[in-house]
Structure 1
């Protein structure tokens, strides 16, 4: 370990160094292997509040060669149970407040209890962990996105997808090992993997928020200031609320340490970016990010320069080691300025939807020996090679960065016996 005494993760007054974090991860990993017989290839769900335990759980699941599937305590119990059933997971990691959300038939394991017991009564045999067979092709994350049939789709990401994505992300100087990064995204949003795991992969310091702390603007402003946050990534609607709060309350010192401010998950507009730029320091770079879960978190980025006249904010150019095509309805490449569907290929290409080869086949296409993911997003490209998002070719929307198929809402409504037919529509941008 390069920096055992460096601060790895903080949450208010709690903290762990890299050495301490590794110890707890090893303790939980061995318990999962020896007591619950979790093995490489298994999917292990985790349903916990924002906490140090969340980080320990994610890394422990990965250490035993299994795939981490996050579940949100904000979801109704019926949905949580349906997602667990869909993954065929044998085990759900929880803490004290979560077990009641699942059927008695599901094995729920309290992370905190395991760590306390194992620390007191067990010796750690690290040789067992060194024998775990994990390859770059092993699936490490399973993230649910909304499905057009009303059934969520489980996106599988490999180890190499995530590590190569992080290489590309570091390559454009969004994050460095010297940064202090705040975790803003909910665990149901794939972007939480960037802060929760990516931060630790490159040796940065992760600052977590207490449960619902991302919605408490007074608390959030205090954390940004006291912890001297240098990198922040959030959806523009939340950033707009935060920066308006800072402006009105004259709390601009909260963002004076920011080096990198990243917006993604929703369309950001020029007015919002102007607000951000007026409050951050000159050293801060503001970026707009784009990317579906199927291509591993982000695949395009735009370093915003408001000195240039623009009426909308581009999603930029592809990250290193990604490539794209923009095709019309006849599968022909479009000309500059013409609208078409964005197809993306590269190091982040997912391993497919879990147990849904039919949906995987529909989502991918082989063009000249190269597999591309059909995003369903309509874009144009300008003379400078910058991509501009224009909308969807289907009925999918985004709510706070979370992809939602309107068909999934319709299916839930039709399950109510008093409703025989329904149509869910988006109305301008009122759903954001």
Structure 2
């Protein structure tokens, strides 16, 4: 530790150390990270110095207990930076709300941004001591079950339901299920066997436990309100596998369709869901049969084999990304026990959350969002160089033009180091890069407003609940063309921190306050997201059988937005941990144009995050963002050859204009 302290800044010093005799290697002689022992405070030997950093007063003890509970630790030193032990923005949000309940704080007595900027137990205790107040507010009381079966839909459900009905319901839409969340798993190894009947019972058990997976959505004809109705499990589920949406598909040797094509056809079935009847989840078992379609020998086989696939589809109105690990955990438990999962009638359900959400006091957030957007020109769209104009009706086909980027290890390390050294979340840094890219791509447009999503599980009661909590929020950034990338990052971080405290405010309210509707808002057409992969959703265990998650290919990719960028960070990967994908509407962009946009984005990112050893011209992050270039090296080389070497009558003067698809050169003839 002393050696690290003499060479590293405080935020980069490890919280603890594990001494190994040797590092585990894989067959190629490289370090096998998967075999490295997981850090555990139980195995740590506390020095005298460390013992002084254990909780010393009642406030620190309470905070320490909350941290250990959220981060699944047994001991945390009071000077440990929460981001160095797995903390992130959602954890900070949960801490914020739990502090308010535990210490009886007023709504505005504690600032989320202060919790971010002072991320240790000691500092949090000091902030809370300054904010102690015994007054309860409406947001502070514990949420409990209301024992309801019918209530108004949540704001997130309303948003998705209406979007599906308005933008993706015409004959132009070629994708039937724009809001399907597909989970595809392949049986990778098995010491025993997987029984389809047992999997069916486990699937039923999960649906029975989580009311949201048997909830209907429909419009109340009397007042036009969207209603959610939790249906009785005994009525909609029976011994028939199809009653809970489980279907077996035998893939024969003479079926020449590619697996992705089969999956694409399944996900595009017009009857995949029926929200009005509560059919919101289904499971397709893709079983490989070593026979022809005329042979029925495998039709009655109850067992699955290696390389068979399990495809689970859930409607997004009932399920978000964070729900995946909860669903997989319960499916595994139900299969292992071969019995019903424990049901607690007093457990908070999603329908209860919806009711509490509608009665929360959100007056402060209304003022915040009004101040954020009151001067923004809502009629002004980003000047993206499209190949085609959008339909005047606003209807979409849902087809996507996409491109993927995988960053090399050097760029990834530089990206992560920048985030660490500037106390940033990866989301904040990625969002900063995207805003700078849009500034360059739109030829200097400075008032940039795009959308991003927030997990919105801001209370402890919501952490282990399946449902749709994600909120869509506008991120407006007003750039100065002369500011540096460092300054942009600092500005975007402050923006993100201020938004976090008001992220529960529904998009519908934001639009209503501005006299807008969901179908005519420009900032909803450009989307950003940053996904950090979790180990538990990439693996499903059914007794002695292991199933690994399989990424879906572009053949089943759909586009809900005009222009979207998604970063993916996979810390468990040995190489290429950072990647991103552009998914754009094919109604507006050709695939070649999106591919070139992705290449320009990659080149700009390499200018920001490559090291000096790279042959790419590295930009000083303290220099003006205007100096960044979107002209990729091969284009620059071609222009140099054409303009300055092949044509003798052209003076050394020119202007280059860069778009998604082309670089135009204006030359002066001497």
Please indicate, yes or no, whether the TM-score normalized by the shorter chain is above 0.5: no
More helix by share: 2
Compute the TM-score of the two structures, normalised by the length of structure 1: 0.29
Which protein is bigger by CA-based radius of gyration? 2
More strand by share: 1
Compute the TM-score of the two structures, normalised by the length of structure 2: 0.21
